[in-house]
Chains A and B, each alone.
Chain A
Amino acid sequence: MSYFLQQLINGLTLGAIYALIALGYTMVYGIIGMINFAHGEIYMIGAFVSLTTFFVLGAVGVTWVPLALVLVLIAAMGFTAVYGWTVERIAYRPLRGSFRLAPLISAIGMSIFLQNYVQLLQGARVKSLPPVIHGGFQLMESNGFVVQLSYLQIMIMTLTIALMAGFSIMIAATPLGRAQRACEQDMTMAALLGINVDRTISTTFVIGALLAAVAGTMVTLYYGVIDFFIGFLAGIKAFTAAVLGGIGSLPGAVLGGFVIGLIEAFWSGYFNAAYKDVAVFGILILVLIFRPSGLLGRPEVEKV
């Protein structure tokens, strides 16, 4: 029982991270109907920036954890947002209106470029961060197995929920959110009504990057090791989460994220951990075959 509970906690934490990344995928897909293949790399960049910032802060003597955390988040979000913005400007905006494979290939090229960019500049080996946030609760014990819930895990989960709630409110109530929804429905009409479509799309990418940066920071704290390749796998899984939840739906992305995190945790806990990624990909394929609109999405009607 306690083993199950521990997997549950681990799965929810992992799921929260996937949810943050999945939100970025789903928002961009919602507005331009395209998967941002490079989004995983944006998350990876967020992780690297956060790690570097931690060490910089350590070097200049900022050791009070809450302050360091806030500064790291600001730095990671800030720099990663610029990366997200730049990727959209260079690789996607010029191709709006081009034949349908073009933005896809451009995105893949961007993904490859960013992976190797980081690999060349930061080295191909893993980088590690000593644990920053210590401690937590011991929930229960049975058969000598102690179920632990760390402060870090609580922080990750609450941050994800808070961000998701915040963005949902933003989408529903602010002018930006309305502009986004308008662009999703009919970009030409939105432009004719005076909405700055370019700026709306850029903002969407930036928001996605901000969320990915938070995810990257959390991963750095949680696992303590990062390398240039983490974006690739996390990207596919987060995309699976977005599709599972219903691409284009924000609550769907979060739901999907948690489900994928739980599946991964339970699979590695009870079955062969080596095949956990296969399990997640399998989910992706099954969802796309049998319920492509996902759990919370609306079925897409083909425009002829």
Chain B
Amino acid sequence: MATAEDPRTQTDTDRWRQDLYEAKPERQGEVFSTISGVENEPLYTEDNVEAGELGFPGVYPFTRGVYPSMYRGRLWTMRQFAGFGTAEETNERFRYLLEHGQTGLSTAFDMPTLMGYDSDNPRSLGEVGREGVAVDSLDDMLTLFEGIPLESVSTSMTINSPAAMLLAFYACVGERQGVPLAELRGTVQTDILKEYIAQKEWIFPPEPSMRLVVDMIEWCAREMPLMHPVSISGYHIREAGSTAAQELAFTLADGFAYVEACVERGLDVDEFAPRLSFFFNAHLDFFEEIAKYRAARRIWATQMRKRYGAKNPRSWLMRFHTQTAGVSLTAQQPEVNLIRTAIEALAAVLGGTQSLHTNSFDEALALPTEHAVRLALRTQQVIAHETGVVNTIDPLGGSYYLETLTSELERQAYDYFDRIEKLGGVVAAIKENFFQREIAEASFRYQREVEQRQRVVVGVNRYQVEEEQPLEILRIDPALERKQVERVQALRARRDSAAVESALARLKEDAARDDRNLMEPIMDASRAFVTMGEMCDALREVWGVWRETPVF
């Protein structure tokens, strides 16, 4: 900000800056911008904020929070993401977490499942159960939730390209347990747009993928009204190296793209919008993160009401899950990650998150051990019960700095919306590599700043030590892969193959027409123990596959 030279228009802040602040030199060699590169003033005052913008929690545009009572009514859901090995190992971890006070389940699937390959596919070799649990069919899903009554938990499933199949498996577990579909609660990620943008676990081209998303939204609105069929995710966009503003803008742009696709299908916006949910990253730049969540709520509410004409106030609410930034964790001096995660989690809470996953300190090295997972959960419990930050709503609201940053991130997001619209919308922008290029640019800039020591990463480019004893890490027994491969092959041998063939034929037939909702044939196929990979193969035949032209 240029300081006013004319003494008649000078504010007290200008005088303070000229006479006092600038009299002393600033530290040299490091940057004062946010981790995303947003410039910071040395001081924010009432000059920076417009009066009357603050509003109230639970009141449009919800900058201060989606609910009137926020954490005084109910704390956020502590939801630790877990999954590894076969369904049996993960089922054990689920029960462990529930016994230790966790209130919701969150399932990590392995890479083959995310990519739509069964465990015995040659492409799955070496990857089965490594980064999540392998689920090939309803049979595995039944094992995964063995002894966990579905009416008493809400379950989040991080699955995108094959989301429809995994949702169907879950619904079928409900059927077997005798729980009505209408009582099943949880979230399926299903956000395929951010896969093309950042996470890169895709199968089909964008158009049929979008059709499948809309099929799920439509079907859930009718059959599973307590399920969130899509969790529109900025998390992975940030992990891929984006700035906070890019995370905010690209995620919301994806959200609007789903809204438009559903409206195009003929759904009324108020029929599905209340069940859309969001998922953000919690990175290290404390105030920038809190500003990001506040800006996100305000933009979503404003656009849903004004641009998409939503009349139900629940359609205006942006509810979101948060996960601390995996990308901020270091392999060097890994215990320091406990501190990073605690600060990130605090930002998520002060930003009004509805649920939270805290990363374990050993995750830059391997999947977390049980000990590390417990400490991560304890971090949330300390914030909730010992720090007092939950005792009042949006305690940082009205901070000159935070309010200015909230408006700045909002402005940057609207700039991006304009650019995306000029490119022809989100799908067109994906095909032009727009997002991929913006993210690669931001991530390279940050890396350069770290390597030039303009940004300090403790233990990495300053305060390094000779590493002590290597940490004890979780090892996935390679025998589990063999076991899972045998499991799926045994299933193929014992099921009714005629039923499988006819279910797959129907799926292909319906996929080739655009006037059918694919959830019904997918449910039928699931009941017949058709595997996820077989269903994906059937759709690959009809729709083809997606290939990216990589940019760097």
Question: Is B one of A's binding partners?
Answer: no
